[in-house]
Amino acid sequence: MNQVLSDTVSQEKFQTLLLTLFGGLAVLLACIGLYGLISYAVTNRTNEIGLRLALGARQADVLTLILKQGLVITLVGIVIGLSAAFAVTRILAGMLFEISPTDPVTFFGSAALLFVVAVVACYLPARRATKVDPLVALRYE
């Protein structure tokens, strides 16, 4: 009987395993892409950061400015992504077992993960750029 039951659900288990693997890979690629994009954008602003520091801005103010600008874009992206995900959940509803298609833990957990990655992606390059001597940053090109 165990063998018959196992054979009955083997296809669903395989699909679940594939969805889990591809979903995890998609989240990993999204985190790497998000970090790379935001980090690149902040690094390109080294001249601006150097100019602000040369004109007397405090490092904390510049860091706060960079974080605010990066996180506003991130929050807009998260809202758009969550809206699109809620709209597409009906497609996956038939493949889910014992979980609702709009599971709040999954939705908000992935959004929180991307938010944390965006914070780190904004903070690290901005902190690195604020440590650079303003004269060196102004010559950087």
What CA–CA distances, in Å, run from 109 to 29, 49, 92?
16, 33, 18
pTM over 0.75: no
In a domain, 14, yes or no: no
In a domain, 83, yes or no: yes
pLDDT tens by residue, 33-59: 888 888 888 888 888 888 888 888 898
The pLDDT, as a whole number, for residue 22 is 94
Tally of domains within the chain: 1
In a domain, 11, yes or no: no
In a domain, 15, yes or no: no
pLDDT tens by residue, 122-139: 888 888 878 877 777 677
In a domain, 52, yes or no: yes
pLDDT confidence bin for 141, thresholds 50/70/90? low
CA distance linking residue 54 with residue 36, whole number of Å: 27
In a domain, 105, yes or no: yes
List the domain range (segments joined by +) for residue 49. Answer: 26-139
Q: Above 80 in pLDDT, residue 94?
A: no
In the numeric block, which tokens belong to residue 76? 């807009």
In a domain, 3, yes or no: no
In the predicted model, what is the mean pLDDT of the chain? 83
